[in-house]
Structures are given as structure tokens and as C-alpha cells.
Amino acid sequence: MTLRIFVPRDSGARAVGADQVARAIAIAARTQGVAPEIIRTGSRGLYWLEPLVEVELAGVRHAFGPVTAEDAPILVRSLTQDAVHPLALGPIDETPYLKRQTRLTFARCGVINPLSLDDYRAHGGFTGLENAQSLVPERIVEAVVESGLRGRGGAGFPTGIKWRTVAATVAPQKYIVCNADEGDSGTFADRMIMEGDPFMLIEGMIISGWAVGATRGYIYIRSEYPDAIATMNAAVTLARNAGYLGPRFDMDVRVGAGAYVCGEETALLESLEGKRGVVRAKPPLPAYHGLFGAPTVVNNVLTLAAVPFILSEGAQAYANFGLGRSRGTMPIQLAGNVRRPGLFETGFGITLGELVDDIGGGAASGRPVRAVQVGGPLGAYFPRALFNTPFDYEAFSACDGLIGHGGIVVFDDTVDMAKQARFAMEFCAIESCGKCTPCRIGSTRGAEVIDRIRNGEDRSSNLKLVTELCETMKLGSLCALGGFTPYPVMSAITHFPEDFGSGPSQIAAE
């Protein structure tokens, strides 16, 4: 039997040498007279072990990592001689990091060749689509409603309700738009899906199109993701040639141009229409008046990627996971200064502390974890005191935070929280679309005021000023960029007052 070796082609793995490893393995194998089949997969999401090589031994995939090109000759020799290699991690499915997860959306990621339709079908792909085929559109929509799926992009709006609205709106043309403008630092789950299991996203979009009566779809991918763009383009062509895409529903990949604000759905629609990515006022909602004025479903990659499971295994199977009004699983992304960064998909309800300390293993630097930012650059910074917060939409919003797209960026005790607050304002100034004054100008003024605080100029009145400014930005901005920048700023001030040069009591008094 041919020896099968799996090496990721995920850009996160390529970033640390996966291509060189794949080449070195092929050369070492040839030198040693073995002819393995080398299969390039997505990533399993155990990034601290990347490049993570898997070898199929007696039908079980064994992991080795992190492998370098220099390790390849000895690795190949150990396989032919049945010796234990020092980088051997045992069967991949038995690794604690994966074993503790509930992988519904990421079940195939890192397992299959992302551009093999045969692999996809062999691992349950297109079952949801086949089931949807026998359902009237209303039943597809109701299945998504019953699953409790909420928008995974950050806003957490119930997906089924959005679909119901679009389905009920009569129009000659409707659209499905997949928001793949994953701009939040600390998030990479969309990228992993597009690079590792692109047909699942295509399947989700087709089902969505059937459900609401849309015949056209677009995936808007950020230009910072060249690998994801290439893989999605190839997958769309393969799916079209195989007859999955056609007159009933077809789609194209569109590429962003470096504007963070285009991750906001109305700015994204403007950009797709070929304009500046300026946010639209709502109403009208995109569900009524979206792309080119037509009723449009705008869903995040992870939202659409969850749909095939719901249609193949049933709404209840999905809703069985989770907590309260947060049903199903959330692909959480551990990033930054953390010992075991990666993708951790689990039912809602796990606490922040479990994620950071237990699963993530604390800071990569070995120093104490001081703060974590959850939900991207517009998410709040959490101190250790709030590590008992369960990962759930409502619990996070009760702590003046958000789970956003599920990214957690870990910082050790060397972090300067006043600097982080300043960066939040600076980022907002760089990325503001300019429509709302509090966002466009407030962010620049905010950075200046924080500079004054950091310089020790009239701290208490400047802290008061920045607090008022945050209030204005929150209330006076149309979208989450201006509206949520106050989250990182105010959470830094509230939870880490010592970094702003004042004791907790002084802040509380104001």
C-alpha cells in the first residue's frame, strides 16, 4: 500500500515552512527508495505544531510536528524502519487539543485535499445539499431558524430570520453575499475554511440561494488573503464544471482592496458595487435593499459554512450544542502571545479562563497573562478578573464586551494598556470610511487625548474627556467601527487604570 503523507498548504503552515517540508519529504523519500503519496491539506489549526505532518499508519493518521525541512530525511527513515521519531505526537485524533473540541464546521479542515471533490463527498460533503434538494425553500429556512444559528461575523443576528425576510421579499433578482473580509486581528477561521474546505462554503451558499430564491452569489475576500482567493477561485471553477454551480445558482469571487471597514456589510455592498466602501444608513436593511438594490443575504463565512451540517444532520443536532440563546458551536481562534495558538471549535459556554490558560496554555513568553482582547480590534480587553465569563453572546455583552468573530488575542504582563487604547483610536482613524463625524474626527482627537494622558498632562480631565468622546462615538456612528472602538478604549481604562497613571479609585470617582 502506498504510504500517505499529509502536509498542510494552509498559509499559516506555509508561513512557517510547510512548502519546504513537503519538498524535503519528497526528496528524502526518493533518496530512500520510497514513493509516498504527498497530499496537501488545510490546517488542523494546531498552529504551534505547524508545519504539522501526518502519516497514515495502518489506517490511522499519526502526527509529527513542528517539522522542519532538515527533519525530513530522518522522519522518512523512521517511517520505513518503524522507529519512533522524536517529533512523533501519536494519532492526531487523540491529541488533547483536538479531542476536547466539537468540530462540526471544522470536521474536514486539515483532513482532506481542499480541492478534491471526491475527498469532499467521501467525508460527507454535499449531503446537506442533497437533503435540501428534497425540501421546499420554506423548510430550508425553517431548519436554519430552528438550529438557532446566529451570524458568526460578530453581530450575532439570527440567520434564519434574515433568510426568512429575504425569502419573503419579492424581486426579480436576489443575491447571496458571503462576507469573507475577515479583517479582525486574531481571527483566521474564515481563512482556514476557504483554504482548507472551500466546497463547504460553496455548498452553504448554494443552499442559502435555494432557500431565499437567489440565483447569484459573491464571496468578497480581503486582498490580504492571496491563498484563500486562489483556493476559492479554483474551487468555484471545479464546482461549476461538476455541475454544482450553474443557472440555478452561480457565484464569483471578488477581492477587496485593503479597507477594514468593508467588513461592515453595507460598506461591503458598496465596494462590491464598485464604489468607495462607505457605510450605508440602515434602514433599509440589505435583506430588502442590498446589492444593486436587490434583496440580499449577507452572511459571514462561518455562518454559511455551518449550513451544510444543519441540513445534513438536522437543526436539532446543531442546536444541541451551546448555551442559552447561543446555539451550536463557535470556532474560537486563540492568537498572539499564547503557548498553543490555534483553532478551537466548541459549543458555547466554555469560560474565557479555560480557553486562555487551560487550552491555550498561558502566554507563549512564559510570563503571566495580563489581558486578552476578544472579538478583534473593536472588542474589549478583559483582565484576569473576568476570566470566568462564559463564551456566549449575552454573557460577553453583559461585561461590556463582545465575542465578535471569535478571536482572542493574548497579551502578557509587558503590555501597556494605554498604548493599546491609543492604537484602537489610531486604527479607527486609519480605517474610518469618513461618513460619520464622531468616527472620522473623534478617533484622531481620541488618539491625541490618550497621548496627553500618557504624557501625564492633566490626566483626570483628559480621562473624562476621552470617556465623553467614547460615548459620542458610540451613539453617533452608523456602524461598528466608530460605534465599537470605545470598547477596547474604555475596557482598557476601566480594567487597567494603573496604566493610565491613576489609581482605580480616581476613575471610579469620575
In the complex, which residues of this chain contact other proteins (CB under 8 A)?
A: 11-12, 14-16, 45, 47-48, 50, 182-188, 190-191, 223-228, 254-260, 271-278, 292, 333-337, 341-343, 364, 373, 377, 407, 409-412, 415, 420, 423, 427, 430-431, 433
Q: How far is the CB of 264 from other proteins (least distance, A)?
A: 14
Please identify, using beta-carbon distances, which residue of 128 and 406 lies nearer to other proteins: 406
The three state secondary structure string of 448-502 is HHHHHHHCCCCHHHHHHHHHHHHHHHHHHCCCHHHHHCHHHHHHHHHHCHHHHCC
Instruction: Identify any residues that bridge with 373 across adjacent strands, giving them in sequence order.
Output: 381, 409
**Backbone phi, then psi, for 7, in 5-degree steps?**
-130, 130
Q: How far is the CB of 44 from other proteins (least distance, A)?
A: 12
The side-by-side arrangement of strands in the sheet containing 296-300 is 250-255, 216-221, 175-180, 296-300
In order, the DSSP letters of 186-212 are T--HHHHHHHH-HHHHHHHHHHHHHHH
Please identify, using beta-carbon distances, which residue of 313 and 416 lies nearer to other proteins: 416
Please identify, using beta-carbon distances, which residue of 119 and 182 lies nearer to other proteins: 182
Q: How far is the CB of 353 from other proteins (least distance, A)?
A: 18
Q: How far is the CB of 240 from other proteins (least distance, A)?
A: 16
Please identify, using beta-carbon distances, which residue of 123 and 254 lies nearer to other proteins: 254
The three state secondary structure string of 75-96 is HHHHHHCCCCCCCEEEEHHHCH
Q: If residue 139 lies in a helix (H) or strand (E), which one and from where to where? A: helix 137-147
Q: How far is the CB of 424 from other proteins (least distance, A)?
A: 9
Please identify, using beta-carbon distances, which residue of 50 and 392 lies nearer to other proteins: 50
Whole-number CA gyration radius for the chain: 24
Please identify, using beta-carbon distances, which residue of 159 and 443 lies nearer to other proteins: 443
CA distance 172 to 190: 31
CA distance 48 to 29: 26
Please identify, using beta-carbon distances, which residue of 160 and 375 lies nearer to other proteins: 375
Contacts for 20 with CB less than 8 Å, ≥ 6 apart: 68, 69
Q: How far is the CB of 386 from other proteins (least distance, A)?
A: 18
Helix, strand, coil shares of the chain, percent, nearest 5, are 45, 15, 35
State the pairing for strand pair 369-374/407-412.
antiparallel
CA distance 107 to 305: 11
- Which three cell numbers, joined as nine digits, stand for 135? 425540501
In order, the DSSP letters of 207-255 are HHHHHHT--EEEEEE-TT-HHHHHHHHHHHHHHHHTTSSSSSSEEEEEE
Q: How far is the CB of 127 from other proteins (least distance, A)?
A: 29
Please identify, using beta-carbon distances, which residue of 299 and 333 lies nearer to other proteins: 333
Please identify, using beta-carbon distances, which residue of 354 and 426 lies nearer to other proteins: 426
Q: How far is the CB of 340 from other proteins (least distance, A)?
A: 9
Q: How far is the CB of 411 from other proteins (least distance, A)?
A: 5
Please identify, using beta-carbon distances, which residue of 36 and 377 lies nearer to other proteins: 377
Please identify, using beta-carbon distances, which residue of 24 and 259 lies nearer to other proteins: 259
The dihedral built from the CA positions of residue 95, 97, 98 and 100, taken in this order, carries a sign that is positive
State the pairing for strand pair 250-255/216-221.
parallel
CA distance 35 to 30: 6
Q: How far is the CB of 429 from other proteins (least distance, A)?
A: 12
Q: How far is the CB of 461 from other proteins (least distance, A)?
A: 28
For residue 108, give the 3-state DSSP assignment.
Answer: coil
